[in-house]
Amino acid sequence: MKYASVVSQIPSPFPKVPKLDSSLMTVLGLGVLFVILSIIQSRQKKQGKTATARWATPSEIQKCRKLAKSAIRRRKFDNAAYYITEPIGVPVSRPDRILGRKSGASIMFPEINRGMLVCGATGCGKTDNIINPCLHSAIAQGMSIALFDGKGRGGQSETLIPLALRHGYEVRVLAPGDPISNTFNTFDSIKDERDVAGARERVAVLIDNTSEKDAKKDSFFDPAGSSVLSGAFLLAKWVAKTEGDPLLANILMVNQILKLPDLSKRLQACRDTIDPWIYSEFGILTATSKKASQNSPEGSILATAIKMLAPLVIPNYLQTFCGKTTFPGFDPQDPLKVDGKQMVVFMLDPDNVASTVPLIAMAIHQVVAYNLRAGRQEAMVVSLDEFHLLNLPIVLKWLAVDRYNGSSIIIGTQYLSQLDAIYGKDRAKGFLTNCNTKAWFNPGDPDTEQALSKAFGEEELQLKSNSKSYNFGKNSGNSRSENDQLHKKPLIEAHIIGQFPKGKCIIQSPGTGDKDNVSIPFVHQFSYDPKQSKAFKERSIEDYNAVREIICAHNNNSPQTYFSQELHRYTEILERLLTLRSEPETASNSKVILNPLHVIGFNILNLCQAAKFDLSNYTIEPQKKYYVPDDLIVNGDIKSPLSYQDVIKLLEYTRDRDEQPPPPIPAATGVNL
């Protein structure tokens, strides 16, 4: 009892709290609930009554990151993702680090197969902050890459090529006039001398990239010149096949064909020798040559075709586009294929952009289109910065259709009017529509700024107004009222976009949003580390120069004197294959020379099969010329129809001539039996 009394005297550390009334507890509970609901409501997106434009919330941006991470893990060729880690100026982190917990600050772009458009003026940071980092992430993930470097020396390739090599890539470069370049002969991908569609496709790309943008086109001479040029492409393939030398099919041979004297007469004289599909492409030329000389447009048609081809026929670039194709050339059995960790680079010559653009445009068109037709295992990233330098309408198809075949297109332009000027308003609108990921830097163009401000819409602005009134008199008193007024204002004003500093942009991604809205924009300012960036560039340029020296030492480029000699050889070949039937000299000449008339062997074979002539004792060669004796010539042409005895006489006559020295003038024409 003694101890109990002592314990009872020790004060309790927790004083007793008086029990609260139940009504007070109810009030407190409602207050806490009200605070919680207020916090939740404040975090929810406000849906305006008069305007609904808004910026993306942090949770919506985080959702975009989750979609991108999922795509990186699954690695599907038709649903890949880019990511950008900061500070800008150094290679991005490895994919495994991006998938970790510390990637919350990374900018990520899911669904890249739906196309990306990056717009901004020179120096605003569109290449350094978006395009190059996205390509860094593509290299880190092992995607195939086709890079268009519109700047050439000092451009993207100086940092991207060494980075790709460090990641185990194979790299091929096409750079007209540069010793580092491989060879790309566009004729190697034309199937044969009957591939009219292939020839027309290449000519169309050539014309699109050589014509002045605002130049008016002639409704007759431009289509006629285009047809003649495609015919010359096919004729070059025929010459190469006839001579048994595939390397004869090249730009230089086409140039010599167009400049061959009396081309239309030669074509008519050899109509039965060349393929009929080739002759049909020259149809306008041969038809106009039959008119009176003073009214014939033949010369103007040829001049138009020569003008279209002229930018390609430059001695400095012939070694890049004549000869055996080595670009891309990763797989000898499939030389145009680009797959896996392989990278192809298309570089312009900064000193002669106008002449190299059509050559590079043709190469991009053929290589990329071929690889998007084939079955792919990895996404193919096609980077087209400075897109306004090219005229490639097929890119719209790559965006709209071939995204299911693994295409991931990046388009870089300075302002929207550039696309309008090159492609027209409808196609330019198509590029904007089919590029679902967009990054808008400072365009430096008021029209683009106004268009963007209008496109982002208006947000709702709520203003409160207070009013107080005074009453005097018997029942005097004061009253106060408070009203909410709703106003609208642009989500972002045009002049604000024009004031963006370098590295600041508005990003729209199809992964940013909620179940009701996607592509909700948000503003981001990229961080930049100049010290790390400088070190990375210096190392990359050092590696690039070292690789360049090795490649130049191994490349066996033909000197310009070689192509000068080839010009004469090509002319001799053409004059031999496309011979003229000489007209009799005037009466004042003492000697009249007639070219011997001949028949091609396969025509004799067709005649004999149709007439069921038995010529088993004779060997008829399809490509051989069989000369016609005088008694079978009527009015300068072979008699028709030929009897069995006539055919025997023709064969015996040719055999007798073969035992004699050849005539001084070669055979002029074939005869259609």
pLDDT value for 14: 42
What pTM was estimated for this model as a whole?
0.75
pLDDT value for 134: 95
Helices 221-243 and 196-208: crossing angle in degrees, nearest 10, is 130
Helices 221-243 and 298-309: crossing angle in degrees, nearest 10, is 70
Beta-carbon neighbour count of residue 140 at 10 Å?
A: 20
Kindly report the three-state secondary structure assignment for every residue of 332-350.
CCCCCCCCCCEEEEEECCC
- Cβ-contact 202, 186 below 8 angstroms: yes
Decide: helix, strand or coil at residue 44.
Answer: coil
Residues with pLDDT less than 70, the chain: 1-50, 101-105, 212-216, 218, 290-295, 374-375, 462-485, 556-561, 581-598, 601-602, 606-607, 609-612, 623, 634-637, 640, 655-673
Instruction: State how far the Cα of 657 lies from the Cα of 664, in Å rounded to an integer.
Output: 13
Asked, as a colleague might, if the bond just before 622 is cis with ω within 30 of 0, I would say no
306-333 confidence digits (pLDDT tens) = 988 888 888 888 888 888 899 998 988 8
- Alpha-carbon distances, residue 103 vs 94, 98, 141, 438 (angstroms): 11, 5, 16, 21
- Cβ-contact 667, 598 below 8 angstroms: yes
Structure token digits, residue 238: 């025929």
- For the chain, which residues make up each domain, given as ranges? 598-659
pLDDT value for 12: 45
Over the range 626-664, which residues count as b (16 or more CB within 10 Å of their CB) and which as e?
Answer: bbbbeebeeeeebeeebeeebbebbbebbeebeeeeeee
DSSP 52: -
Over the range 96-109, which residues count as b (16 or more CB within 10 Å of their CB) and which as e?
Answer: eebeeeebeebbbb
**Number of residues in the chain:** 673
pLDDT value for 484: 62
- Alpha-carbon distances, residue 82 vs 68, 274, 432, 509, 523 (angstroms): 7, 53, 19, 11, 18
Residue whose C-alpha is closest to residue 164's, from 549, 543, 555 = 543
Q: How far apart are the first and last CA of the chain?
A: 143
CA 379 vs. chain centroid, Å, equals 15
pLDDT value for 215: 59
Instruction: State how far the Cα of 649 lies from the Cα of 670, in Å rounded to an integer.
Output: 18
The dihedral formed by the CA atoms of 653, 655, 657 and 662, expressed in degrees to the nearest 10: 140
Decide: helix, strand or coil at residue 479.
Answer: strand
